[in-house]
Amino acid sequence: MSDFEDLLRQIEQEAEAEGPTGHAHLAELRDRFDLVVQIVDRRRELHMTQQQVAAASGLHQSVVSRIEQGVANPTARTLTQLARGLDARLVLAARSTPE
């Protein structure tokens, strides 16, 4: 098992122990992680550096970096600029529900 998987398991256990508040926080973290993965995957798909994405989107490279690290809390406007720089668009998608 990887260090990341160990960390994820620990976070899930802590969320379970905290109850509903912990579950809500875990869902928020998963949403943020999913968004970051989509951004990084798209940038790599286009073979772009963070600097190139920043130039294409009108953002500073440090902003792109912080978003990719998951430490920024970007506005809808910033995400829209980033999406345009990645030749993509923002889409609100329904959560998939387990069957």
Q: pLDDT digit string (tens) for 28-56?
A: 888 888 899 999 999 999 999 999 999 99
Quick check: is 90 in a domain? no
**Left (φ > 0), alpha (ψ -120 to 50) or beta: where does 87 sit?**
left
Range(s) of the domain holding residue 64: 3-85
pTM: 0.77
Q: Calculate mean pLDDT across residues 70-94.
A: 94
Mean predicted confidence (pLDDT) in 63-86 = 95
Number of compact structural domains in the chain: 1
Q: For residue 80, is it within any domain? A: yes
Structure tokens at 45: 């798909």
Q: Which residue has the higher pLDDT, 51 or 20?
A: 51
CATH of the domain at 57: 1.10.260.40
